[in-house]
Structure 1
Amino acid sequence: MLSSAEIIVSFAELNAIAVMKLEKTVVIGGSIAGLLAARVLAEYCDSVTIIERDKLPLQPHNRKGVPQSVQPHVLLVRGYRILEELFPGIGSQLSAAGALTIDWLREFYLFAQGEWSNNAVAPSEIVSFTCSRPLLEWTIRKRLVEFSQIKFIEQHRAIALLTNSHKTQVTGIKLQSLTGDGIKDLPVSLVVDASGRSSHAPQWLEDIGLTPPPETIVNPFLGYATRRYKPPENFTADWKVMLISQEPPQNTRLGYLAKIEGGELIATLGGYGRDFPPLNEQGFLAFARSLSSSCFYEIIKDAEPVSPIYAHRATANRLRHYEQIQMPKGFVALGDAVCALCPVYGQGMTVSALSAMVLKDWLNNSQLVTSRFQKNLAKSNALHWILATGQDSRFPTTAGRKQPNRLNKLLAGYNQKLMQMSNVDTDLRTLFAEVSHFLKSPLTFYHPQVILRVIRSSKQKIKEIKNL
């Protein structure tokens, strides 16, 4: 008869065996979520294959398969720290390629509620990078080629799942060449769907007789227009990213301006509720002039355009509830293929990085039960989903919005007050930045000491106004 110690060892050995069965894996999609998933899998698998529809560029150029790549992307501090964990020293490579470090307390200027943020603070450790999406992906791909077990199959798309006869185990994928080389089967032990918003996995599951995941969609009908500029002559600015924010429910317009590699500015206008910015030069400038601060317009009106104006309107929040269905063994989904958020909040790349870490934890601690991974991922995504859809739901034109109850209205009012008071209270400003960059939980906002600090700062500001 086995002792309790021997039983514990036996279970540990079973877990090890479960992990070691991952000889070959495939990741569908070569964007941020797929690249980071492949990096994690490389620690556990003899072979990791990334399937990508595009011919991947040898330089940091835009590509057809990521139409949103021309739009600005924000690498939040938590996301950058995960990149450094997975790719030690990647910050130095980004800098060498032209990316700019940004201290989000000192170099991010926010215009909201009629005033600019107070950036007269000491240097902080809330630091990441501002650069284009193509540069970030290119830098990550360069690091991945250092792993001999990772390879890319370009210009192919996955069209179906392969399964065992009982449809309980995914055994691979069916690949279609986009260059006319036909269709072939790729047998693997684990398929990771990281193909983004356009994922066909729900249909694949239905095709093998399983129930596809239910979906929740909250669509704010936000449209973007983006253009790159060469800054005006003798241009100087203390900021590296500037945001003139939308303010629900009435102010639907926003402007985002960021310094990126090559000495360029990336300028984006946005409008909620189908208040889309025009795609011609005159209309683009007129829309910029209509923002609640003139700073955005004053900079770009004298700048030299170096790109066309690109539109992007696929901005709906979409959540696929894989955690609610029976999943076949050997198949998981993550990134935007599961939880795609309205990009205005800059969460997307960091949520994808967090998804990769959920995958890492699952590979470390479970017997590769796919439903367990999807439940863990749902927990990781939940708060980010609530934050994005909660803000978007404050616009009455948002489809699928939840009607705010008394508590929602109370919290929204408090959050506005906290943001306003962060301009006069350095500790509150630091906390606001830490929460915005996923370094602390949003629940920290509602700690009794923080609430008391907001009240005190508010009273102090009222007193100063009366003394003027």
Structure 2
Amino acid sequence: MPIQQNQHAIVIGGSIAGLLAARVLSEYFHQVTIVDRDQLPLTAEPRRGVPQSVQPHVLFTKGYRILEALFPGIDDALATAGAIPFDWGKDFLYFQAGRWSPTTETPVGLESYTCTRPLLESIIRQQVSKIANIDFLPGQRVIGLLLNQTVIQGVKLPNGELTAQLVVDASGRSTHVPQWLETLGITPPPITVIDPGLGYTTRRYRIPSQFQPDGRVLLISQVPPDQTRLGYLAQVENDQWIATLGGYAHDYPPIEEQGFLQFAQSLDHPAFYEAIAQAEPVSDIQAHRATMNRLYHYEKIAMPEGLIAIGDAVCALCPIYGQGMTVSALASLVLQQWLAKSQKPNFQKQLARSNAFAWSLATGSDSKFPTTKGAIAPKSGAKLFQVYLDRLMATAQKDVEVHLAFLQMAHMLKPPSIVFHPKLVLKTLF
């Protein structure tokens, strides 16, 4: 373990990005304090500070492997709590543009767990709570930053101050750091927003005892520019499904039962509707529409010393692609590598490079809908790549080898260059 050279680090936000950051910081600071406005229960309960927590969340294989490295034995904790192990090559059923992608008969090593967000977050929080030099300060709202000349030296609380050598903003989409910087006379970061007008609604169902689904996770996908609707169905703990309907271009799924079922019937394939039609609902239907892609360009400003930002507080992605938790896990690796260097490079520039692939994947797809606000028009080279990528995805729906290669790229296990492997090029173009 690295030598702890610093006294105190503060993490604003006790969600997954903040918990992983605290785990990494604990190796370099004598004390780490996680400050969160919620009470942070150790049990799997939805939190007010994470309004999308009742909606589906998925952990890519890369994110799961990072969790295993940070918290050895977390797989046993997840399994004991009821999370369901699955393999993306074998257990993921994906329907797009009139065709199912191929699956394998046996696992291929693209492992993860499927469970609700509150369960996953509670397991990670339990792991973090075992680390002796990490403290939680729940029920406290950070209202500003402490600035001494050009250095951030802590945070302001409603009833006082908390000093530190490093402040990490992991407060997610609700971040106030750009406004706080401006209040201090520091130029706030530029912002890019790409809003596809996606809304989704979710309901939990008890899986019928007589119904044995073929896979653990099912996705009936949207197909830009015209097919705006999608359905996502995943097995989670307690023998339940989490069932989500989504609609782009403000084609929002209804939140009343009849409309919800009719929307499900309108999907490109009946598998989603047929599953829930014979299942017992165990929750209300809940909607979520804070789905825009939003990127704060901290890498373009002179950040004051003693402050960094990570997770959704920097790069908030349209959640339908399931990248968010894995992007936060990757950020913890960037933080780990940054802390290990005696001569500190620019953290936000390193993080921007880490976030770039996930950002381009989400915004590139969302920009294909003509109604998307702030849509990015691809450059000439990017257009050719997108044409090739579209053909590759079409090939992946027929060829299991191409499908698995695409999954490795999507799960951030392999670089994007994997799609130009000669064997894949031949299968895609000829």
Shorter-chain TM-score bucket reads over 0.9
Q: Which residue of 1 aligns with 2:424?
A: 450
Corresponding residue to 2:152 among 135, 150, 170 = 170
Check whether the contact 2:92–2:217 (CA below 8 A) recurs between aligned residues: yes
Given residue 287 of structure 2, which amino acid in structure 1 is its aligned partner? A
**CA–CA distance in structure 2, aligned partners of residues 405 and 46 of structure 1:** 48
**CA–CA distance in structure 1, aligned partners of residues 429 and 333 of structure 2:** 37
Check whether the contact 2:173–2:312 (CA below 8 A) recurs between aligned residues: yes
Q: Provide Cα deviations, 1:324-366, integer angstroms capped at 9, x if missing partner.
A: 1111111100000000000111100000000111000000014
Larger Rg: 1
Q: Which residue of 1 aligns with 2:109?
A: 125
Q: Provide Cα deviations, 1:390-441, integer angstroms capped at 9, x if missing partner.
A: 0000000100002245544443333232222223322212101111211111
Establish whether residue 362 from structure 1 lines up as the match of residue 338 from structure 2.
Answer: yes
Q: Which residue of 2 aligns with 1:432?
A: 406
- Secondary structure in 2 matching 1:318: strand
Establish whether residue 27 from structure 1 lines up as the match of residue 1 from structure 2.
Answer: no
**CA–CA distance in structure 2, aligned partners of residues 356 and 265 of structure 1:** 30
Aligned-residue offset at 1:320: 0.2
- Secondary structure in 1 matching 2:356: helix
- Secondary structure in 2 matching 1:319: strand
Instruction: Tell me: CA distance 1:107–1:325, structure 2 relative to 1, closer, same or farther (3 Å).
Output: same
Given residue 175 of structure 1, which amino acid in structure 2 is its aligned partner? L
Check whether the contact 2:42–2:126 (CA below 8 A) recurs between aligned residues: no
User: Runs in 1 of length 4+ with deviation above 6 angstroms?
Assistant: none
Establish whether residue 215 from structure 1 lines up as the match of residue 197 from structure 2.
Answer: no
Establish whether residue 295 from structure 1 lines up as the match of residue 295 from structure 2.
Answer: no
- Backbone CA RMSD of aligned residues: 1.4
Corresponding residue to 2:99 among 115, 132, 143 = 115
Q: Which residue of 1 aligns with 2:348?
A: 374
- Secondary structure in 2 matching 1:70: coil
Q: Which residue of 2 aligns with 1:50?
A: 34
Given residue 422 of structure 2, which amino acid in structure 1 is its aligned partner? P
Q: Which residue of 2 aligns with 1:206?
A: 182
**CA–CA distance in structure 1, aligned partners of residues 352 and 302 of structure 2:** 14
Check whether the contact 2:144–2:180 (CA below 8 A) recurs between aligned residues: yes
Larger helix proportion of the pair? 1
Establish whether residue 413 from structure 1 lines up as the match of residue 387 from structure 2.
Answer: yes
Corresponding residue to 1:231 among 197, 207, 223 = 207
Corresponding residue to 2:129 among 136, 145, 148 = 145
**CA–CA distance in structure 1, aligned partners of residues 269 and 381 of structure 2:** 31
Given residue 314 of structure 2, which amino acid in structure 1 is its aligned partner? V
Q: Which residue of 2 aligns with 1:399?
A: 373
Given residue 68 of structure 1, which amino acid in structure 2 is its aligned partner? Q
Given residue 80 of structure 2, which amino acid in structure 1 is its aligned partner? A
Unaligned runs of 5+ in 2: none
Q: How does 1:8-407 map onto structure 2 within 5 Å?
A: 21-164=5-148, 166=149, 168-176=150-158, 183-368=159-344, 372-407=346-381
Check whether the contact 1:162–1:174 (CA below 8 A) recurs between aligned residues: yes
Q: Provide Cα deviations, 1:78-129, integer angstroms capped at 9, x if missing partner.
A: 0000000100110111011100011100100000110112224432111111
Unaligned runs of 5+ in 1: 1-15, 177-182, 457-468
Q: Provide Cα deviations, 1:220-274, integer angstroms capped at 9, x if missing partner.
A: 1100100000123401112000000000000000000000001000000000010
State how many pairs are aligned. Answer: 429
Taking structure 2 as the reference length, the TM-score comes to 0.97
Check whether the contact 1:49–1:151 (CA below 8 A) recurs between aligned residues: yes
- Secondary structure in 2 matching 1:43: coil
**CA–CA distance in structure 2, aligned partners of residues 51 and 63 of structure 1:** 15
Given residue 299 of structure 1, which amino acid in structure 2 is its aligned partner? A
Aligned-residue offset at 1:163: 1.5
Check whether the contact 1:48–1:150 (CA below 8 A) recurs between aligned residues: yes
- Secondary structure in 1 matching 2:131: coil
Given residue 340 of structure 1, which amino acid in structure 2 is its aligned partner? A
- Secondary structure in 2 matching 1:157: coil
Check whether the contact 1:244–1:292 (CA below 8 A) recurs between aligned residues: yes
Q: Provide Cα deviations, 1:28-52, integer angstroms capped at 9, x if missing partner.
A: 0000100000000001111000001
**CA–CA distance in structure 1, aligned partners of residues 343 and 153 of structure 2:** 17
Aligned-residue offset at 1:207: 1.2
Given residue 220 of structure 1, which amino acid in structure 2 is its aligned partner? P
**CA–CA distance in structure 2, aligned partners of residues 297 and 199 of structure 1:** 37
Check whether the contact 1:23–1:45 (CA below 8 A) recurs between aligned residues: yes
Instruction: Tell me: CA distance 1:410–1:367, structure 2 relative to 1, closer, same or farther (3 Å).
Output: closer
Taking structure 1 as the reference length, the TM-score comes to 0.89
Of the structure 1 ranges 234-243 and 119-128, higher mean CA displacement relative to structure 2 is found in 119-128
- Secondary structure in 2 matching 1:96: helix
Check whether the contact 1:121–1:426 (CA below 8 A) recurs between aligned residues: no
Aligned-residue offset at 1:301: 1.3
Instruction: Tell me: CA distance 1:260–1:147, structure 2 relative to 1, closer, same or farther (3 Å).
Output: same
Q: Which residue of 2 aligns with 1:4?
A: none
Given residue 171 of structure 1, which amino acid in structure 2 is its aligned partner? Q
**CA–CA distance in structure 2, aligned partners of residues 391 and 162 of structure 1:** 40
Aligned-residue offset at 1:448: 3.5
Aligned-residue offset at 1:442: 1.9
Given residue 28 of structure 1, which amino acid in structure 2 is its aligned partner? I
- Secondary structure in 2 matching 1:227: strand
**CA–CA distance in structure 1, aligned partners of residues 376 and 209 of structure 2:** 48
Given residue 447 of structure 1, which amino acid in structure 2 is its aligned partner? H
- Secondary structure in 2 matching 1:269: strand
Check whether the contact 2:221–2:231 (CA below 8 A) recurs between aligned residues: yes
Check whether the contact 2:419–2:425 (CA below 8 A) recurs between aligned residues: yes
Aligned-residue offset at 1:169: 0.6
**CA–CA distance in structure 2, aligned partners of residues 66 and 37 of structure 1:** 17
**CA–CA distance in structure 1, aligned partners of residues 61 and 178 of structure 2:** 32
**CA–CA distance in structure 1, aligned partners of residues 342 and 428 of structure 2:** 43
